[in-house]
Amino acid sequence: MKELNSLEDIFNKRLFRIPDYQRGYAWRDEQLSAFWEDLMNLNKNRFHYTGVLSIKEIDREVWKDWNTEAWLIETRKHQPVHIVDGQQRLTTCTILIYCITKMIEKHPNYKNRDDSEIYLGSYSLKEIKRQYISISQPPNHTINTFKFGYEKDNPSFLFLKHKVFEEPSGGKIDETFYTLNLENAKKFFNDNLNDLYKKDGILGIENLFEKLVQRMMFNLYELGDDFDVFVAFETMNNRGKKLSDLELLKNRLIYLTTLYDDTVSNNDKVEVRKNINSAWKEIYYQLGRNKKRPLNDDDFLRAHWIMYFKYSRQKGNDYIKSLLDEEFAPKKVLTKIKVNKKSLSKVLEVKEENIEVEEEEEEEDFLESIEEIVEVEEARLSITTIDKYVKSLKDAAQHWYNTYNPEDNVDLTADESIYIDKLNRINISYFRPLVMSLFASGRFNVDERIKLLKKIERFIFLNFRLSRSMSNYKSSYYYNATRELYKGSLKIETLIDSLDEHSNYTFYENGDFYYSYFKDHITKKFSSNGIGYYAWNGLRYFLFEYEEYLKRHRNQPKISWKNFVRSTKDKVSIEHIYPQTPSNECWKPKFNDYSDYEINRFKGSLGNLLPLSASINSSLQNDCFKDKNVEKYDKDGTLIRNGYQNGSYSEQEVAKYNEWTPEAIMKRGLTLLKFMEDNWNISLGTIEDKLKILHLDFMNNEEEEETT
């Protein structure tokens, strides 16, 4: 085991920093659980191979300006190193060590004791903290230096210091997708340490700590100056938790800034690298801004690629191949091209027109000197191109977040929030990049944006929810439109018109909606599983929109979309008013005159389906109509259903019926179709047409007349 190193060895006289090209902390439950199980299952007399830890010494030119670390490097001779590979494991170990120290510190046996007087096995708490967490500079101890962390200006370092390691802070701490993982790791270890303490007491914690720092072994590999850390990062870090495409791209862009020769000033290189770090800080802030629903970073990167570069549909990962192998390939920096500078020389000549030249010969020499530099060699990929791309990516992140989180969003008007929310509920699908582009372009006013959002929602409802088009229908067109809109080569009026044009096939020449696609789809749902409209994937959206329509001019919503779409075992949020299994005698007289085929159509027809303000046990669907109208309690007095009278606006509307009959199902179905016509500006034809759509065309003419 001589070639392997324990944590105790690794942390001796070293100062660890995670460089800017590295991703943040990416471990989640799966990796944390595996790490904990390895540690718990490790026999205290054996060793566990934890993996490779690759480090590279940090140049003096880099660390000499580190205010809080330089003293430890210069006076205590600590070696400052970047972690090239293994930072996820090392971060995890450090968080666990800190959690152990806090548990011991708070133990009743050690109340009011100094860290130097508290021992965990043979280690004092003071010794543990100084070795693995932080050490303060004597004699004043005003500077506290953390032994492990990120480079400065990384929000993860502030979070690690102040939220995980609990150093007091008076400032605002940004939170990102990565800081959420740091927070969760701390919670995970605190919970499991508490369980271990309850089971094995202090001795169990001591054994765990000793195994962690003495028995978890690393293969420590120190990289030399001739080793390309950027290339190493891309290859090494694909062994563990796979790098996301966004993480790979950041590393690549930083790497490219190091490849430019002296034709690009060092200040420009530093500035662009700073802009890259600033962009990724903003991106991960936006992606992790909603802690309960963090956004996928590769989804964002692909959407921005669609918006920024020319779209090509080949494979699912074509965007990252395009970015890494084409747009930002190292060869595009290393390969020089001749650039014609004639236009620049003309500018110089104009500027110099007022110079007094004494002799004609001197003027000729001057012009010749300009011509000598007309053609120069520059990298095929300019550093300005990288900078523009990075700034666009940074700006787009907030708009991407807004497309997912429109509610109570100060960046959006009330109407914009409403329509983006509608798009999310109906499944915005491939239109999300286009919506991001609409806002990121910065060229359109609120009215124009609302008009486009409305048209997109109508397009999705007509083409995908009613006419059953393939999910990728016209996707290539609108992906290309995303870029054109962003770049300014497509007028928004043209885009709006295209949404209507691409929906023309859903209408007859007389303007009526061609409902056959939809009717046939529902027929199949009756044939395959017998539940008809209940299996329509647009049902919840449609019923919710009708509920919103009824809610207008009232402030209080009765149905929460999140609860409405949540699937819970044995619970229903859309009820068959006339039950699927009408075992109660009260239902028989009203439906006795109809065949089994017709009864099945009543059950699954649109008018028989009702959104509930609160989900109920599925067994309650069999109750009589009069019982469904009122509140119902169990034998313990607990409310088990609200009753239609006190339910959603849709329920209250149904509660106005004296009884629930075939005629009532037909009448309500026609009411819902009338709403569909008005809301999406379509005509579904005559009453006869609408009864066909409802699959109630067997109803007799007298009933049709009575309904109209």
The dihedrals phi and psi of 641, each to the nearest 5 degrees, come to -155, 145
Say whether both 478 and 595 belong to one domain. Answer: no
Say whether both 164 and 286 belong to one domain. Answer: no
Any domain includes 342: no
Any domain includes 694: yes
Last residue of a domain, one of 181, 204, 237: 237
- State the amino acid at position 474 in one-letter form: K
Any domain includes 532: yes
Mean pLDDT (whole number) for 524-538: 90
Q: Higher model confidence: residue 11 or residue 170?
A: 11
What is the pLDDT, as a whole number, of residue 379? 66
**Nearest Cα residue to 500 out of 449, 469, 458, 467:** 458
Any domain includes 357: no
Domain with 691 in it: 515-519+526-699
Question: Is it the case that residue 436 has pLDDT exceeding 90?
Answer: yes
The token duo for 495 is 């885009």
Computed from CA positions of residues 182, 185, 189, 195, in that sequence, does the dihedral angle turn out positive or negative? positive
Cβ-based neighbours of 232, under 8 Å, separated by 6 or more: 54, 84, 85, 223
16: part of which helix (H) or strand (E)?
A: strand 14-18
The dihedrals phi and psi of 75, each to the nearest 5 degrees, come to -95, -30
- Confidence class of residue 398 from pLDDT cuts 50, 70 and 90? very high
Any domain includes 359: no
What is the pLDDT, as a whole number, of residue 365? 40
Q: Higher model confidence: residue 297 or residue 556?
A: 297
The token duo for 473 is 């229908």
Say whether both 540 and 643 belong to one domain. Answer: yes
Q: Higher model confidence: residue 672 or residue 22?
A: 672
- State the amino acid at position 243 in one-letter form: L
Any domain includes 257: yes
Mean of per-residue pLDDT scores for the chain: 87
**Nearest Cα residue to 87 out of 25, 34, 179, 161:** 25
Question: Is it the case that residue 308 has pLDDT exceeding 50?
Answer: yes
What is the pLDDT, as a whole number, of residue 636? 80
Last residue of a domain, one of 198, 215, 237: 237
Q: How far is CA 191 from CA 26, 27, 358, 391, in A?
A: 20, 17, 87, 41
Question: Is it the case that residue 1 has pLDDT exceeding 80?
Answer: no
Computed from CA positions of residues 629, 635, 637, 641, in that sequence, does the dihedral angle turn out positive or negative? negative
Last residue of a domain, one of 237, 256, 272: 237
What is the pLDDT, as a whole number, of residue 563? 67
Any domain includes 682: yes
Percent of the chain with pLDDT over 90: 64
Say whether both 330 and 441 belong to one domain. Answer: yes
Say whether both 184 and 262 belong to one domain. Answer: no
Q: How far is CA 324 from CA 257, 311, 508, in A?
A: 14, 15, 48
Dihedral, 387, 389, 395, 398 alpha carbons, nearest 10: -130
What is the pLDDT, as a whole number, of residue 578? 95
- pLDDT per residue over 596-645, tens digit each? 999 999 999 999 999 988 777 666 778 899 999 988 888 887 887 788 98
Say whether both 553 and 600 belong to one domain. Answer: yes
Beta strand 639-641 with 632-633 is antiparallel
- Confidence class of residue 340 from pLDDT cuts 50, 70 and 90? low
Say whether both 158 and 263 belong to one domain. Answer: no
Say whether both 617 and 474 belong to one domain. Answer: no
Count of structural domains within the chain: 3
How far is residue 545's CA from residue 535's CA, in Å, rounded to a whole number?
Answer: 18
Say whether both 223 and 252 belong to one domain. Answer: no
Say whether both 249 and 394 belong to one domain. Answer: yes
DSSP letter for each residue of 630-656: S-EE-TTS-EEE--GGGS-HHHHHHHT
Mean pLDDT (whole number) for 274-278: 92
Whole-prediction pTM value?
0.80
Give the three-state DSSP class for 692. Answer: helix
Specify which residues 650 forms β-bridges with. Answer: none
Question: Is it the case that residue 706 has pLDDT exceeding 60?
Answer: no
Any domain includes 58: yes
Question: Is it the case that residue 64 has pLDDT exceeding 90?
Answer: no
Say whether both 459 and 577 belong to one domain. Answer: no
What is the pLDDT, as a whole number, of residue 453? 98
- pLDDT per residue over 96-121, tens digit each? 999 999 999 988 888 889 999 999 98
DSSP letter for each residue of 177-230: HHHHHHHHHHHHHHHHHHHHHHHHHHHHHHHHHHIIIIIEEEEEEEE-TTS-HH
Specify which residues 572 forms β-bridges with. Answer: 616
Q: Higher model confidence: residue 3 or residue 203?
A: 203
Say whether both 260 and 178 belong to one domain. Answer: no
